[in-house]
Structure 1
């Protein structure tokens, strides 16, 4: 049922949001020269996939988790995208393709070994990664791997259609800080 909802809402979001996506892409082109950011992430069953987002940092920024990134790397437009969570919109493509869900554990980088280990122990990596979830609406990010993995596990064990819509609504309503970068919020 969740996969059907993911497919429907991601397709609807991409179709209705196309003008916004196009506008953000054009502004991003002027901001960084490369508005789309693609990065290999840990997917379902630890398989790699390419996550697509709007670029919020300067082009040559090191590929590290947001909490380890330099605050100076974020562009002014990137700060706006992160604050409004619009940087996540291109991930609807990942959801449509079945690589992600609208609700699930945020996909991490392969170099985040402690988080991967914590998630493996709790069976979290058997689920599709998501755009939002329980951890995100409660401001729990990848800087606390154990707490994040425990929260992801709790969410997955209690994920119902009602909870799915609750996390999406809370995210759209502005709950949660998104990916934090020290010194810039």
Structure 2
């Protein structure tokens, strides 16, 4: 409601109920198809458009390729700048700074989390996530058998539904080796 109130003066509003983590959002697609030369795409905050730096760059480039402008209400306004090229340049510069800042913050959060986990492990307070499978799990054993028969991790994933990265971790955990030394993804 807060975002819709901030956008009430816009000509057309596109609303998604899906997380900004993905670009596979119907209203985002509809908006990108709808915009025309001279349009101003207005979002309340940059993360409403997308959360990933690469996705944001792709979306911004698409908006620019249609000769439209992006305005982010939570950023300083460039509305008073008459020259379209200068307004785009300043907006892009601000967006790049904010994207860099957001990416750096995500990296710092991951580093702090990793440091916290290490400290908790040393104190014996962290055991990690509960394993998905025990060694005697029938599905895991079936996957191990398929692996021994020469199926690739991708084929095993298709047959058992066990993600190939997860399966690879379990193979290493239980030191499962293939006799013909093939190790396909």
Which range, TM-score by smaller chain? under 0.3
Of Structure 1 and Structure 2, the greater strand share is in: 1
Higher relative contact order (CA 8 A, sep 6+): 1
Structure 1 length as normaliser, TM-score?
Answer: 0.25
Structure 2 length as normaliser, TM-score?
Answer: 0.25
